Amino acid sequence: MAEAQKATKLWGGRFSGELDPLMVTYNESINFDKVFYAQDIKGSIAFARANVGTGILTKEEFAAIEKGLTQVLQEWKDGKFVIQHGIDEDIHTANERRGRSRNDQVATDLRMWLRDELREAEKFLVELLTILTDRAALDIDYLMPGYTHLQRGQPVRWSHWMLSYGSAFLGDLERLREVIKHVNKSPLGCGALAGNAFGIDRVAMAEELGFEGLIQNSMAGVGDRDFILEALQWASTLMLHMSRWSEDLIIYSTTEFGFVRLSDAYTTGSSLMPQKKNCDSLELLRGKSARLFGAMAGLTMTIKGIPSTYNKDLQESVQPMIESMKTVKDSVLIAARVLATLTVFPEKMLAALSPDMLATDLAEYLVRKGVPFRETHHISGRAVALAEKENIPMDKLTLAQFKGVDERIGDDVLEVFNYERSVELKSAIGGTSKSAVLKQIETLRKSL
């Protein structure tokens, strides 16, 4: 039995000793790289077709190979393909048994699968950004506190807050489109490491498989996993933004804030406290980001110490890639649905505003009267201190009290204490006025 098993392995002729059964399972990747079955078969068909051109195969032989591989593809689709553990160590040997050095085929499968996954993630991210811009346009009249250091700073539009993450997610979308270009290069025909000895047409194979160019060096073609690392780095940055977005919404959904409420579809209750509604969807988005960071860091450590071209360590790139792509796609979909079904309470947002948040507006009011800002900042600060000392809101100070702070404060000072006026003054590009926010929405939509 051991001899029969060795004979079925593509590399079995070199070895006389029996493989430790634990080593057999330790070496296998078929349990997770079986997801590449379609890419592997398409690559094999393209390779066989190209070998008609080299004279290695006749047209009749290619037709028979294509027919057989198409049958194997259908077996996988129908769930009828039977994996033989101990023999089918990976997807390539499994398909070979049912139907060459595998190094270039491994890299080809990975690139094709990852390319398709990233394109799907791109579609989901566009959907999220579309929902975000639509919501920003719908909710444009709602005002809320803008925070720095988690302390109330200045009034802003709720839409402006949403678009701050829209800007981050747009950056992620632009980076993703660049990553897809880097992934979508063909290594097929690179052989084990030195290239192909039969003049195979690598360009024709690449075009058949939808690649947009070739890996120009055969050693790089089989030994490079930077494209997976780059995809995980991109995913980590996206999930970093997703985590911060989730944290804001978790805070805004607390009773202390009460700005938003999540749909029941994306929350759970407490097993002990009946009144609670927990933001599990957002907490999981925040938590799963750490798994992606770990996968990216782990693959970095795997790659950094191995010598050139293919080494078995590179097999460890497959599982984190598969798991990370599922996590990132699911996360973007969950985020989109949370945002689409979110209930907003603009009256709570408005109630959270306070006149002291217009202290900068008071300083800017004095700048318009010709007072240097280095002075107006100090004057405004003294007015804040006076209101605190009197234990009254800043807009309840009398005109005499304001003039007592600085005689250059005019009779029209109370016009400053208007939240709508405050946000509308921020009309420069990127600001929180209605016109500036609408411009952001327009720009973001064009980028999609």
Q: Smallest Cα–Cα separation from 195: which of 226, 168, 218?
A: 218
Catalytic residue among 270, 308, 435, 447: 270
What is the number of other CB atoms lying within 10 angstroms of the CB of residue 300? 12
Q: In the annotation, is 270 catalytic?
A: yes
- Greatest Cα pair distance, the chain, in angstroms, is 102
Angle at 299 (CA atoms; ends 295, 302), nearest 5 degrees = 140
Q: How far is CA 269 from the centre of its chain?
A: 28
Q: In the annotation, is 160 catalytic?
A: no
In sequence order, the 6+-apart residues with CB closer than 8 A to the CB of 226 are: 303
Q: Are 432 and 156 in contact (CB under 8 A)?
A: yes
Q: Are 202 and 147 in contact (CB under 8 A)?
A: no
Token reading at 135: 């919501």
Catalytic residue among 16, 85, 101, 149: 149
Sign of torsion over alpha carbons 29, 32, 36, 38 = positive
Query: Up-side HSE of residue 359: CA atoms within 13 Å toward CB?
Result: 19
CA distances from 434 to 102, 142, 210, 428, 437 (A): 58, 10, 44, 11, 5
Query: 84-110 burial, b if ≥16 CB within 10 A, otherwise e?
Result: eebbbbbbbbbbbebeebbbbbbbbbb
Q: Are 316 and 107 in contact (CB under 8 A)?
A: no
- Which residue do the tokens 């980001």 mark? 289
Q: Are 393 and 357 in contact (CB under 8 A)?
A: no
Q: How far apart are the first and last CA of the chain?
A: 59
Q: Smallest Cα–Cα separation from 245: which of 161, 148, 342, 134?
A: 161
Q: Smallest Cα–Cα separation from 296: which of 206, 374, 229, 341?
A: 229
Q: Smallest Cα–Cα separation from 321: which of 46, 168, 116?
A: 116
Q: Which residues are catalytic?
A: 149, 270
